[in-house]
Amino acid sequence: MKAAGFNATSIYFHWGFHSPQRGVYDFTGLRDVDRLLDIAEEVGIYVLARPGPYINAETDSGGLPVWLINSPARDRSNDPDYIAAVDKWLDHINPIIARHQLTDGTGTVILYQNENEFGDQSPGGVAYMTHLQQRARADGITVPTFHNTAGTWPAWVPGTPGAPDLYSFDLYPQGFNCSSPQTWSPLPDLAPVREHSRNGPMFTAEFQGGSFDYWGGNGREKCRELTGPAFQRVFYEHNIASGVTAQNFYMTYGGTNWGWIAAPGQTYTSYDYGAAISEERQLTDKYAVQKELGYFLQAVTPITKTEAAPDVPASDAAVTVKSLRNPDNGTRFLIARHTDATSTATTSFTVPIGDDPAVPITLPGHDSKLLVADYDLERQRLAYSTSEIMTHLRLGNRDIAVLQGRKGTEGRTVLRYSSEPKVTVLSGGARSTWDAEHGLLRLDYAHDGLVELRISGGGRPDLLLLLGDDARFDRLWTQSTDAGQVLVLGPALVRTARAERGVLHLTGDTDATTATRVWAPTGTRRVVWNDRPTIPVVDRTGALAFRLRGPAEVTLPELAGWRRSEPDPSSAPGFDDSRWTIANKTTTTNPNQPAIGQPVLHADEYGYHHGDIWYRGHFTAEGTEKTISLSAVTGTAGAWSVWLNGSFLGTVDNGGASGSFTVPADRLRTG
Report the relative pairing of strands 166-171 and 202-208 from DSSP bridges: parallel
Q: Where are the alpha helices (DSSP H) in 211-350?
A: 220-226, 229-241, 285-299
Buried b (16+ CB within 10 A) or exposed e, 47-60: bbbbbbbbbbebbb
Quick one: residue 39, left, alpha or beta (phi over 0 = left, psi -120 to 50 = alpha)?
alpha
Q: Is 225 a catalytic residue?
A: no
CA pair distance 107, 137, nearest whole angstrom? 17
Burial of 597-636, coded b for 16+ CB within 10 Å and e otherwise, reads eeebbbbbbbeebeeeeeeeeeeeeeeeeeeeeeebebee
Contact 431, 425 (CB under 8 A): no
Q: How many helices (H) and strands (E) does the chain have?
A: 8, 35
CA–CA dist 289, 229 (Å, integer) = 6
Residues 284 and 227: their CA atoms lie apart, in Å, by: 12
Distance in angstroms (rounded) separating the CA atoms of residues 518 and 506 = 10
User: How far is 452 from 545, CA to CA, in rounded Å?
Assistant: 15
CB atoms within 10 A of CB 264: 19
Cβ-based neighbour number of residue 647 at 10 Å? 14
Q: Which of 58, 115, 206, 237 does the annotation list as catalytic? A: 206
Closest by CA position to 625, among listed 671, 668, 658, 573: 668
CA dist., res. 519 & res. 396, Å (int): 11
Half-sphere exposure of 633 (CA within 13 A, CB side): 9
> In this structure, what DSSP letter does residue 402 have?
E
CA distance 319 to 348: 9
Q: Is 180 exposed, middle or buried (0-12, 13-18, 19+ CB in 10 A)?
A: exposed
Which phi and psi angles does 129 have, rounded to 5°? Answer: -65, -35
Q: Quote the CA–CA distance of 181 and 178 in Å, as a whole number.
A: 6
Which of 370, 337, 332, 368 is closest to 353 using CA atoms?
332
**What single-letter amino acid sits at 223?**
C
Cβ(100)–Cβ(47) under 8 Å? yes
Catalytically annotated residue among 41, 58, 115, 117: 117
Determine whether 292 is an active site residue: no
Active site residues: 117, 206
